[in-house]
Amino acid sequence: MIDLSKPSNEWLAVEIKLCRAVLGLSQQQLALLTSMSVQSIKRLEKKGANARYKTVLKLRKVFTELGVHVQFDEHGVITTKLDDALVVAINNGELKQYLPLAMENIIAMQEEWFQ
């Protein structure tokens, strides 16, 4: 059984890097979308990062809005689900067009989400 609450684990870093890789998202872009600093994103991607619950929710909200959902089970199995629109964009070679539009929507909603 995995323990996602231990500060010494790397599960959050794995989740962030996995989602960024699927989307081709840079640390700078993720920082912009979450209203966090690039340094904060870098720190969260390192072993032993101690993120607040609110920060984890913020990251997951952004990834969900971009179309990526990650789940961990008690055995450490990682399941990644992509929204249909993201799958279509990837299949059609249109990820570079999909991402800016999705990012614009998130930026427009930031004030409401991250108050």
Task: Render pLDDT for 69-82 as a digit per residue (tens, 0 to 9).
Answer: 998 888 878 899 99
- Domain-located, residue 92: yes
- Domain-located, residue 3: no
- Domain-located, residue 106: yes
pTM score: 0.86
Cβ atoms within 10 Å of 31's Cβ, excluding its own: 16
41: left (phi over 0), alpha (psi -120 to 50) or beta: alpha
- Domain-located, residue 61: yes
- Domain-located, residue 6: no
SS3 sequence of 21-71: HHHCCCHHHHHHHHCCCHHHHHHHCCCCCCCCHHHHHHHHHHHHHHCEEEE
- Domain-located, residue 1: no
Residue 97 has pLDDT above 60, yes or no: yes
User: Once rounded to an integer, what is the mean pLDDT over residues 101-109?
Assistant: 92
- Residue span of the structural domain in which 78 resides: 11-113
- Domain-located, residue 2: no
Q: How many domains does one find in the chain?
A: 1
